[in-house]
Amino acid sequence: MTILVIGATGRVGRHVVDQLVKREAQVRVLTRDPAKANFPASVEVAQGELLDIDALRSAFVGVRTLFLLNAVTGDEFTQAIVTLNVAREAGVERIVYLSVIHADRFVNVPHFAVKYGAERMLAQMGFSATILRPTYFIDNELMIKDVILQHGVYPMPIGSKGVAMVDTRDIAEVAAIELIRRDRAPGKLPLETINLVGPDTLTGPEVAAIWSDVIARPVVYGGDDPTAFEQNMASFMPKWMAYEMRLMAERYVSDGTIPEAGDVERLTRILGRPLHSYREFATKIAAAA
């Protein structure tokens, strides 16, 4: 049977598709613009978006398992709930849903609250689901690499509690493994939640120290005040989204994103290899500069 991947053109989704193809799964993706999809020839491409009900229903024909990744948008909650309802209507109950770590705690951050709402629907409506809860993506640092390399400042206000940043390749591979496991299971599997974390829980000053080491010149931490961060984000994204990113940063500072006991070991066991580290990422970026 076919696995439908929603959110396939983003950083995580493309890796998910590649991992599924590598595992010889039948894959269909839903995208607004098939001309820009650029997927392997074996991947079926369906055109549409999540609030186009006819296109969504068509995309679910012949599908048994769904990977759902919602972008952060003003109508993200409507998109998620509509998609899960259409999936249920189509008889699809096997789902891997990309949520976010501490979705149940960081309730003042809109996209965290949205994802927790979708989690509750998955649980209460009896889906056979794996809920993946990633922490901050290491790859987000690509947006700020020039500030680090050119100005010697690590500007992300992540605080001193610690953030266990995770590589998108690790997220995608765990997602693909779970999709295959649920798709090929002889019957309905229980709902499960997996925290997706990196191997190291790092503070702002510790991240700056890693950069100082790999580029061999001083990098300082920009501090915990998210004001400048919000202003910078607002220069290239909607102001409501920049404000939302500020709210998220404030929770990093006040709470951090600390793995639960056994999270790293669990992921290492699922993947059969070590997790990608922040230092590995920074070293690669520095070498390419």
Segments forming the whole domain that contains residue 6: 2-135+167-196
Residue 138 structure tokens? 């290491």
Q: What is the CA radius of gyration of the chain?
A: 19
Single pTM value for the model: 0.96
Residue pair 31/37 in contact (Cβ under 8 Å)? The answer is yes
Residue pair 99/118 in contact (Cβ under 8 Å)? The answer is yes
Bridge partners, residue 26, by sequence: 2
In angstroms, how far is CA 169 from the centroid of its own chain? 10
CB-facing half-sphere around the CA of 82: CA atoms within 13 A:
16
Quick check: 1 pLDDT over 90?
no
Quick check: 284 pLDDT over 90?
yes
* Residue 276, in any domain of the structure: no
Residue 55 structure tokens? 């296109």
* Residue 114, in any domain of the structure: yes
Separation of alpha carbons 41 and 9, rounded Å: 15
What mean pLDDT value characterizes the chain?
96
Read off the pLDDT band of 151 (50, 70, 90): very high
Read off the pLDDT band of 35 (50, 70, 90): confident
| Structure confidence by residue, pLDDT tens digits, 67-123 | 999 989 999 999 999 999 999 999 999 999 999 999 999 999 999 999 999 999 999
| Structure confidence by residue, pLDDT tens digits, 188-222 | 999 999 999 999 999 999 999 999 999 999 999 99
* Residue 280, in any domain of the structure: no
Count up the domains in the chain and report the number: 1
Read off the pLDDT band of 130 (50, 70, 90): very high
* Residue 149, in any domain of the structure: no
The CATH number of the domain where 79 resides is what?
A: 3.40.50.720
* Residue 288, in any domain of the structure: no
* 103: nearest Cα among 230, 14, 196: 196
Look at residue 33 in the predicted model and tell me its pLDDT.
87
Separation of alpha carbons 243 and 217, rounded Å: 32
* Residue 50, in any domain of the structure: yes
